């Protein structure tokens, strides 16, 4: 049985979330993980002519640091199978030049089990916590985690790493001016 505690800040956060199209974020972030979380930046991924997802990066006081807790939200603009999300993620990680095939096989299997199918409008939020675990939520409900610190870091580097395949998206998420 879960117990919920209502605080003044949780009520304010709830009301703010009702005013935002990104409502799942408010139900996901535990105050102990991301105190004073606010948007660092946001962007839309478009491939050729297709809009894929809208992304938002949240961190304490709107300041991202890769070793401190943060949350990355992806609101999907089309339907995708979970296996396709997992395969694309592992391709992005592999492109970073890592070559240990047995590790990749283990990571691939983990990601294939982790990601659910998504429909247009669904939101997946990945939270990088203070314990360096990565927790994942679909529309506000936790569906899994990555406990392997290296895989978790590489996963978020798909969007936030210096060697991302989408540098414009990264700059916009991190609030970096050209």
- pTM of the entire structure? 0.82
Query: Is the dihedral angle over the CA atoms 67, 73, 76, 81 positive or is it negative?
Result: positive
pLDDT in tens, the chain (178 residues): 444 344 333 333 333 443 344 445 555 555 446 667 899 999 999 999 999 999 999 999 999 999 999 999 999 999 999 999 999 999 999 888 777 888 889 999 999 999 999 999 999 999 999 899 999 999 999 999 999 999 999 999 999 999 999 999 999 999 997 6
Cα distance between residue 12 and residue 18, in whole Å: 10
Cβ-based burial of 17 (10 A; exposed 0-12, middle 13-18, buried ≥19)? middle
Strand order in the sheet with 123-128: 37-47, 50-60, 70-76, 123-128, 134-138, 141-146
Q: Which residue ranges form the domains of the chain, and what is each CATH number?
A: 8-174 (3.50.70.10)
- Classify 160 as helix, strand or coil: helix
């Amino acid at each position: 049985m879960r117990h919920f505690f209502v605080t003044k800040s949780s009520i304010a956060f709830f009301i703010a979330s009702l005013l935002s199209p990104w409502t799942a974020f408010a139900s996901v972030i535990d105050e102990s993980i991301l105190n004073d979380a606010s948007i660092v930046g946001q962007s839309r991924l478009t491939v050729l002519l297709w809009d894929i997802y809208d992304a938002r990066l949240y961190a304490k006081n709107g300041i991202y640091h890769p070793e401190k807790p943060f949350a990355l939200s992806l609101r999907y603009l089309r339907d995708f199978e979970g296996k396709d999300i997992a395969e694309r993620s592992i391709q992005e990680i592999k492109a970073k030049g890592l070559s240990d095939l047995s590790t990749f096989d283990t990571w691939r299997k983990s990601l294939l089990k982790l990601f659910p199918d998504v429909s247009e409008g669904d939101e997946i939020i990945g939270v990088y916590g203070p314990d360096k675990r990565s927790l994942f939520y679909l529309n506000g409900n936790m569906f899994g985690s990555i406990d392997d610190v290296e895989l978790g870091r590489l996963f978020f580097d798909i969007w936030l790493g210096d060697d991302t395949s989408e540098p414009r998206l990264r700059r916009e998420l991190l609030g970096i001016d050209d």
